[in-house]
Structure 1
Amino acid sequence: MNKPTTSSNAAGRVIIISGPSGSGKTTLHKALLEGPGLKGKLVKSISATTRPKRPGERQGKDYLFITPAMFESRIAKGYFLEWEKVFDHYYGTPKRQVLNLLKKGKHVLMCIDVKGARRIRKEFPNAASIFIKTPTMAILQNRLRQRASDPHESLQLRLNVAREELREAKHYDRVVVNGRLDKACRDLNAVVGQALGLDGG
């Protein structure tokens, strides 16, 4: 998909978190923003999506929930830094939001899929990228089965996609294994703190 041209000479830095569905990347992403170590030092990039809201999610806080027609209109207008269709739903990173934050010297945290991450790394070569994975595929499969947020989604399809995504881990700066959540939170906090030259705490 076409990638818009932007400047990489911004004062802030992009931090990318990716991982397969069920790896716990969203939970870790939230913990990183809210935890004591880096709280206030990172700004969340809010993605747009056409998927339904999950319990507890808030419009404009977790995602920008929009219709497929609206999303496609914004694609045509070059609204997104990157976008992808994942399991029949669109996801995209609004361009203006990210560039404005970077120009203000803010460090922008993105929780995006591996294809989107690939495009963001090309756009911002100094971005720090962290891949989240489970210790084993069996653990990932169990997490996906327990979640089962959409009965129409195929567990096998998600596992097949996860295997493909795991092959991308070698292209990331660091890999964090999410076996025990508390340890994974500490590890991720330390990795991001180091990437930003901060005390991860």
Structure 2
Amino acid sequence: MASKAQKKAAKTKKRELILDAAIEVLAERGFAHTKIRNIAEAAGVADGTIYLYFKNKDELLIHLFEDVMSRVLAMFQEALGDRTRADEKLKVFLQTQIQMIEKEPSIAKIISVVLRQSSTFVQDYKNPLFSRYLHLIEEILVEGIEQKLFRSDLNPEVLSRAVFGAVDELTLAWLLSSRREDTSLEQSVQVITKLLLSGLAPQAES
């Protein structure tokens, strides 16, 4: 007879299996055209098994987002490491995000495209992990101001959303492009990084 620990491990593994399958199915079919049975088939489980873990497709998508964002935030923290200069942190942050997008386009499509197709996610979900993502950018900007590397007359909270918006637009254009292989996200993010750091630099006194 399986122990409680073994049963818990098996349940966790099956949940991960379902979420991994959901990433690929949702990225390929979109939210509206994905049925629970499509995810169940991809995961190799019965339709009813999905409902043991998630009430409906919207809840599955929210849990999927939370799992993905937890991994993304951990990835950022690891990449930033013990760096102290804010300008270096901002460069690494942007480079890390672009590398993740190129390496895992299905996950990027979930975040940038599919989530917006769920009215429950857009209208009702409080989205605390996205707030943590924005706060991480904001912290880098505040550090840059304190280190006198960035201008002090800019609003870090507003600017953190501008940084996200720039990267999100690049991601959308790349994901939806029919010539993705001809588009270099790395070059694009270098342009944005250079523009950001130039605009953030303290103004020379006249």
Length-normalised TM-score, structure 1 = 0.27
Give 1 or 2: higher helix fraction: 2
Which structure's relative contact order is higher, taking Cα pairs within 8 Å and 6+ residues apart?
1
